[in-house]
Every structure is written in structure tokens, then in C-alpha cells.
Structure 1
């Protein structure tokens, strides 16, 4: 007879069964309990697997990838727009070249007709004047013969698009991590005492360096620059609608054309003590630097024109200043500084009604004389610079503080250039970080 005891602690019964799953011995009673526990566990695991299946079905929801489709649609529309603009430009060039040739000959014909008329009216026509006219007519005839032989040849390079033109990456927003933020993988020297505004589109990053506006491409190469001779720049932003960068220079607003690097002052924006700017698809928003700061909205097309003004207490309270505004996904983020209490907070408002979605008080010491800038991250998250204490605040999409990262030097402005390059400007440099 078997003398093996049941495995269950404090059970003195003799084993009656061997479990082939865990290779343990049990008495009759405890084997039934043990067997039931496995069945319960299997049922629980089965329920969990079914839950995974339900969650996977939710992932098929088009809303989860709608933003990607929107970006692709925008890219396609921008490409069509670029092609149409180039097409119209070249059509104008063809027409201009043709008419320039015609106009030059027409002007020459008029000159010779006038000369003949004058000679006919003169009574002392000489052989010399007639010979001179003959030479001019022969010259015109030669020009006319050349004109009839001229054709416009168009050499068109093929538009090359490959799979590398658009890259698709998976970004885990839950595990967004800046633990290596103290080590930029690239830096650009910008040693001056002026502010270091940043703005970007899908192609270029705009920085201010050595009295020049500079465009940096994705390989972090300086590709274009133009001298800046206007007032100090307080903020910049990109407008996809205008296809240009908007530059806020204290009391003035300028447009930077990225094709020819021309700078044009926006005459339709009235003078105010401007501080921050941001763009939606249809509007430009400007905040003022004053007690109870306002936010002005301007339409972008057909021309930049004033629409409305949001004032205190909708924007901020009495004795408060707006330090930054950033548009993202039909919302506008606002950083606010209270001059009396020195308190700072971060608010997110709906752009449609300008109602408050959430607000977060920021544990930031200091008077905030300089920047309190922010940028949007994937999944409607936010990153904010703490100028006085050399830190970065990572804020979740529900308005809760996720993480505070120390930064080795004072961060001024911050910008997400492409999906995985975070750019931070400081007193002496513009730093690039992989995320």
C-alpha cells in the first residue's frame, strides 16, 4: 500500500492521485480542489483571451488611424498644390518669353516706321540716311528670320517618388521616454543673447542663428538662410495653408517664404505687443504680452484678416500673462503666469467654444521672466519647458502630470521636429534629441 502523503500542507491523508500537469500527489479531497482550481484558471484565461479578441476588434476602428489618413491626404493635397503652382509658373514663363520676343520686334518695327515717316517729311533726304535705314531694315529682317526659327524646348525631369518618401513608424505613446534627454546627439552653436524660437514643418526646422533665419533639413544640414534685420523675434510657427513660416517680431508679423527665402511684413495685422503665435488649418492666433493677455484670431485666406479677440477672463485672470499658445487637434494649449502669486499653470481649451477642457497647476519656482514654452507630442500629449529650474514637464492627454525630466541647461523653446527628433533651444545652442 502507498505511504505517500498528500502534498497539501497540514494534510495527513495518504495520496490517492497523481496530477500529471504539476506532478504533485493529492488525497481524494484535495485532488478535486486542485483539479477545480485548474479548471477555474483555464476559464479565467479563456475569458482574458476573449477580452483580447474584443480589444483587437476595437483596433479595427478607423478612428485609430484616421489621423494617419489625414496626414497622407494633406501630403497629397500639398503635392498637388505644389505641382499646380509649378505648372502655372512655367505656363507664365512660356507666355512671357514668347511675348518678350514679339514685343522686342514690334518695338523695333515702330522705331523704323517712325524713322521712315520722318525721312519722308524731310526735304533734304541724303544717301547716308537712306543707307542707314537700309541697314536697319536688313537687321530687322535678320531678326525676323531668327524669330521664325526659334522654338521653345521644354526639358521635364520626371517626378521621382519612392517608398522612402513616406515612412511609417510605430510610436508607443505610453512608453514615451526622455531618460536620455541629458545627452543630445547633435547641437548647433547659437551663441547670442536673443531668444531662440523654433518652428518646423515636415521638411524643415526654422532656427535663428547669428542674425540669420536658417532652415535645417532632416539630416540636420543647413540648406537655406536669409539675413534678419527686423525687431527681436519672440515666436515663430508654420502655416501649411500659406506654405510659409510666420514670424512674430514684437509689434510686427512677418511671412518667410521657404522657396525664395523672401521676408514680407503682414500689413493687415495691427500693431500690438505680441508674444506668441500658432496656426490651425484656417486661422492664425496671436497672444499679447500684457496684464490679462488677449488672444487674437486672424483668418489665413483669402488674406490675413482679423476675426475676433478673446479677452480675460476667458484667456486668463487679472494680473496674469499668457506665456505661450500652441494649436493641436482643434484645441489650443496655453501656459499662464500670475504676476502676483508667481504661480504657473497649463490649460487646454476647445477651439470651437474656447471652453476649458482641463487645467494643471505647475510646481515651478521663480518669476518666469523668460519662457514657459510647450510643444505637442503624439497622442495629444504635451512637453513644457521650465526655464527657471532647468526641467521638462511631460503632461498626459488627460491633463495629468506624467514625468518631470531634469535638463542639463536652461531650456528656452521646444519643438518636435518629425516624429522622433525633439529640439530644444538654450542660451548657447540648439540641441537635438532622439526619442
Structure 2
């Protein structure tokens, strides 16, 4: 077991539960997500001034970035507070269920502790030749970062000691792929990556902890017109993925299984998607955030 001390800058302390508790709770509470919920009236709507894409959720909170340098924290009904990112333009956010913090990716990696309402700079800044951190994901005490030069680095959290690093030639297929846009670890530690092909189609591939490809996905965009360098997606249970296909015509929200096959799809535009526990689907578009109920609250 990684025995990193759960302490940052001598000020913030966290209580750690056993990692298996999180896995068991997730696997024992699997629930089919019905995408038709987005065709119903939203449960709640939050307006945002800027159409930035960065968004993440815990079971009880939503954290969204609003350009140029503000994070906004919501619960399911109200905006709670604004947080200054100290000039950090944010590209991606993820929630660490193990340590109970949000990880904020931009020019540098920051963490936001809800309990103490503190935004803390980590030691990770300008990770490779001054490039931005394009995507961040976390599982147990591992944090993976993808920068816009294509490097993926694995750190232990919260010490942020470097454990491994891979250039894009390790995970891209030669003469077929042009780059990766987003990385996501699921509830059993498998890494999913959205990869852009030479023919402009996107697919999601799966990798193990050594960055060995264990599954090559099928193309998700069927018209070959992917000119936007992004395809937001999140991990669900049992190697399923919820994908916002921004380049299809019309834009689609997709539920993709572990084999890369589309199980459900619904016409829906937006810039990002998240799940708030097992109760709410959160969509972000040019007007703000919309919450849709996917199940009854316990």
C-alpha cells in the first residue's frame, strides 16, 4: 500500500478510508443509466457567463471553471462560492474520491479542498517544456496527467512524487493516430484515453497500469469531420463510458460499453458531462449547467 502522508503544506489534513470500501460500494450499486433523461425537463439550471468546458462532480458538489480565472462550487440547487485560481487557466478538473479533493489542471496542478475552502498549488507546474496540463484523472492514490505535448505522467497523491512517464509514441498507433485529448481512470484503475486518428475519427482505447493497450476502441465519430481537439467523456461502472460526441452531426451523447460499442445514444449538444453520484446527470453547454435526474435519491 502507498503510505503517502495525507498532508499538504503542513496545513491541510485528510481522513483516509480503505480504498476497497470505495470499489465495493461502486460495484455493489451499479445502476443502468438511461440517456433519455436529457429529453425531460431539467431538475435545475445554473447560468454561467463563459462557455468554458472544465467541469467535475463529487456525489454532492459540482465544480466548474469560468474563464478567465474563477472556479464556481455548486450543490444540486445553489451556487455556494467562487474561488480565484490565481491566474491559472483551467483545462480539466477531476474529483479524488479517496482523498476527497478536486484536482485542477492548467498551467499548473492545483487542489481544492472543499472542507477548508482552500485552493493549494502543488509542486507540479509547467510539466514539460512549459506546456499546459490538458487532462487530469485520479484513482486511489494515483494521479495521471496528460500535457499538450502528449506526455502522460503518473504521480502518487498527495506527495506528487513522479512514478512513471510515457511519451505519446508509447500509446499512439504509428501511421494511424495524431494525438490524445483526454484521459480517465475508471473504478477499477483501467485508463481510458480519447485518441484522434489520421482520418479525423475519434475512438476510446483502454490501457493497463504499465500503459499497455488492452483494448482498441471503434471510431465514435461517423462523419470524419472532427476539427475540434476534444471529445469529453467520463467513466461509469464496469468499463462503460459516457461520451459527448461534439463532432457528429447532430451532436450526440453516447453510452459506450467496454468493447467500444455504442449501447445508447441521444441527440444532445454541449461541451462537457458529469455524474453527480448516481442521482444527477450534469451537462454543460454555452448557457451554463443543467441537472437531470437519472434516479431517485435514497
Segments of 5+ residues of structure 2 without an aligned counterpart are 1-18
Is this contact kept in 2: 1:376–1:416, CA < 8 A?
Answer: no
For the residue of structure 1 that corresponds to 2:170, the secondary structure is coil
Which residue of structure 2 aligns with residue 52 of structure 1? none
Q: Does 1:220 align with 2:77?
A: yes
Which residue of structure 1 aligns with residue 256 of structure 2? 395
Instruction: Tell me by how many angstroms 1:299 deviates.
Output: 1.1
Q: Pick from 180, 183, 192: which aligns with 1:325?
A: 183
Pair 1:276–1:343, CA change in 2 (3 A): same
What is the CA–CA distance in structure 1 between the aligned matches of 2:210 and 2:164, rounded to whole Å?
Answer: 13
For the residue of structure 1 that corresponds to 2:39, the secondary structure is coil
User: Which structure's CA Rg is the greater one?
Assistant: 1
Which residue of structure 2 aligns with residue 123 of structure 1? none
Is this contact kept in 2: 1:213–1:226, CA < 8 A?
Answer: yes
Is this contact kept in 1: 2:221–2:245, CA < 8 A?
Answer: no
What is the CA–CA distance in structure 2 between the aligned matches of 1:355 and 1:308, rounded to whole Å?
Answer: 16
Instruction: Tell me by how many angstroms 1:209 deviates.
Output: 3.9
What is the CA–CA distance in structure 1 between the aligned matches of 2:125 and 2:157, rounded to whole Å?
Answer: 11
Q: Does 1:343 align with 2:213?
A: no
Is this contact kept in 1: 2:205–2:213, CA < 8 A?
Answer: no
Is this contact kept in 1: 2:59–2:277, CA < 8 A?
Answer: yes
Instruction: Tell me by how many angstroms 1:324 deviates.
Output: 0.9
Is this contact kept in 2: 1:225–1:261, CA < 8 A?
Answer: no
Instruction: Tell me by how many angstroms 1:333 deviates.
Output: 0.8
Q: Which aligned segments of 4 or more residues in structure 1 are displaced greater than 6 angstroms?
A: 72-75
Pair 1:327–1:224, CA change in 2 (3 A): same
Q: Does 1:70 align with 2:21?
A: yes
Q: Pick from 282, 295, 312: which aligns with 2:152?
A: 295
Pair 1:180–1:200, CA change in 2 (3 A): closer
Instruction: Tell me by how many angstroms 1:285 deviates.
Output: 0.4
Which residue of structure 2 aligns with residue 334 of structure 1? 193
* Residues 282-325 of structure 1: CA deviation (Å, up to 9, x unaligned): 211011223xx221111114x11212112233322355121111
Aligned residue runs from structure 1 range 218-297, under 5 A: 219-249=76-106, 251-272=107-128, 273=131, 274-290=133-149, 293-297=150-154
Which residue of structure 1 aligns with residue 276 of structure 2? 417
Is this contact kept in 2: 1:350–1:357, CA < 8 A?
Answer: no
Which residue of structure 2 aligns with residue 22 of structure 1? none
Aligned-CA RMSD value: 2.8
Q: Which has the higher contact order (CA 8 A, sep 6+)?
A: 2
* Residues 250-287 of structure 1: CA deviation (Å, up to 9, x unaligned): x2111112123222221244433221110111211011
TM norm structure 1: 0.55
What is the CA–CA distance in structure 1 between the aligned matches of 2:156 and 2:181, rounded to whole Å?
Answer: 22
What is the CA–CA distance in structure 1 between the aligned matches of 2:43 and 2:208, rounded to whole Å?
Answer: 36
Pair 1:270–1:405, CA change in 2 (3 A): same
What is the CA–CA distance in structure 2 between the aligned matches of 1:276 and 1:299, rounded to whole Å?
Answer: 16
TM norm structure 2: 0.79
Segments of 5+ residues of structure 1 without an aligned counterpart are 1-67, 76-168
Pair 1:248–1:364, CA change in 2 (3 A): farther
Pair 1:279–1:170, CA change in 2 (3 A): closer
Which residue of structure 2 aligns with residue 201 of structure 1? 58
What is the CA–CA distance in structure 1 between the aligned matches of 2:98 and 2:278, rounded to whole Å?
Answer: 21
Is this contact kept in 2: 1:382–1:395, CA < 8 A?
Answer: yes
Instruction: Tell me by how many angstroms 1:353 deviates.
Output: 5.4
Which structure shows the higher strand fraction?
2
What is the CA–CA distance in structure 1 between the aligned matches of 2:231 and 2:119, rounded to whole Å?
Answer: 27
